[in-house]
Structures are given as C-alpha cells and as structure tokens.
Amino acid sequence: MPKKAGTVQWRKQRRKEYLEKKEYRYYIFCEGEQTEPLYFEGFKRLIEDNPIYKDMVLIEIEPCAAETMRVIGMAERYVRKKGIVRGQIWCVYDKDSFPTKDFNGVAKRVDKLNLGNPELQYHASWSNECIEFWFILHFAYYTSNNHRSEYVKFLNDKFRELGIGKYQKNMKDIFRILMEKGNPKLAIRYAKRIIEENKGKTPAAIAPGTKVYELVEELVKYLPENTGTKFL
C-alpha cells in the first residue's frame, strides 16, 4: 500500500476509535462564518474543560457561509462523506432577507430526514430575523418585529451601557459577555414564551422568534455545574 494511502487509512481508523469513545455527539452547522461559530465555541471550550464530560461529548462546529436550505444541504453531504450514523445534527441559520419558502423549508426537510435513522437526528435552530435576536433576549423581553439593523442598534446601546463598547459580529468573547453581563436563564424563558405564544405558526411567521435555545439547552447539560446554573 502506498505511504500516502496508508496514512489516510490510519487517520480514518484513529478518528473511528476517537468517535467510538464519544457517547454524545453534536455536529453544529452554522450559516455564518463568525458570529454563530464564535458563540458556540464558548460552550465547546467549557465542555472540553469539564473533567466529567470531556471524554464523553463530541462537538464539531462547521461554518458554512451559506443560507437556509444550503446549510442543511451541506450538513447532509458532510454526514454522508464522514459516514456518520449516530448523533445530533444542528443547523443554525437566520431568516435575514431570504425567501420564506426556503426558511420554512429547512424545518420541513428536518422532519423528513428524521423519519429514517432514529440514532441520527436533525434539528432546525433558526432565528427570525437573525441570531442577534437571541442575544437581545439575554437583556430584555423583546417582541417588536423590527429589521435586523434595529437588533444590532439595541445591542450597541446595551453594550455601551455596560461599558463593553460597540457590538460586533466577530466578537470572540460574545459567549462570555452574554453569560456574565446578560441573563441566559431569562433568554431561554423568553424564547420559549414567544414560541408558545405562536404555536402552530411556521418559522417565518414567528417574527421575531428563535429556536437557538433548544441547542443551548442541549449543550448546557455538559457544562461545569457553576456555569450551567446560569442557564437553567
């Protein structure tokens, strides 16, 4: 066997052995290249530093630089390419100005995919209009259906009020800021209330709204106890 082929095979075997040790597996596909990945990297770091769960939980975060239906398409291709047969596949995406059909289409596709392998489940973790709405809920119960530029303005004003400076999409410490300066527990409660009050509506019709909290609730289970209590 050629040396290069042998190396590839060895890496595949090592990855297989590594995955087999992980009881809980999360593959997170983010529409954006910075904002969402940086936020979820905060969870990943703390979980990997938690001696109780670090050897049991796998979290892989994939920035897609793609919108709505393309995000779940990339997730499906990744699953096929890597031969993934067990775990949770989370698609994190925004409504922005994309067509309603595409935005709602992800949730429909998820439902169809989940009819197959019960050990491999897909999830639509959407925000209407954008993930900044989820960030806002850490500070206020916000229900105004405004353009996403208003959400950024809200965060700018709040961050300046807290002495943090201007909100930016590529803030590397966004997870820490929201956890320490905001109230994650209230954010989850507010997001759930909005979904409950709009029960029966499509994602595009819930404006504003977000289901990012569902992924957050999953990851919180593996955080160190002193941090997890901030969320639940």
- Note the pLDDT of residue 232: 83
CATH code for the domain of 121: 3.40.50
Do 65 and 33 form a contact (C-beta atoms < 8 A)?
A: yes
Q: How confident is the model at residue 8 (pLDDT cuts 50, 70, 90)?
A: low
- Taking the alpha carbons of 128, 191, 122, 35 in that order, is the dihedral positive or negative? positive
In-domain check, residue 161: yes
Residue 12, in any domain of the structure = no
Residue 69 covered by a domain: yes
Decide if pLDDT at 162 tops 60.
yes
**What is the model's pLDDT at position 140?**
97
Mean pLDDT along residues 54-62: 96
- pLDDT, residue 22, reads 86
Q: What value does the mean pLDDT take over residues 54-68?
A: 95
Residue 3 within any structural domain of the chain: no
Average pLDDT over residues 65-87: 95
User: How many domains, in total, are found in the chain?
Assistant: 1
Q: Does residue 187 lie in a domain region? A: yes
Q: Is the model's pLDDT at 12 over the cut of 80?
A: no
% of the chain exceeding 90 in pLDDT = 86
In a domain, 2, yes or no: no
How far from 167 is each of 37, 129, 152, 159, 172, CA to CA, in Å? Answer: 16, 17, 7, 6, 11
Query: Domain containing 27: what range?
Result: 18-228
pLDDT in tens, 114-139: 998 999 999 999 999 999 999 999 99
Q: Can you give the pLDDT at residue 9?
A: 64
User: Do the domain assignments include residue 7?
Assistant: no
Q: Is residue 10 part of a domain?
A: no
Predicted local distance difference test score (pLDDT) of residue 136: 98
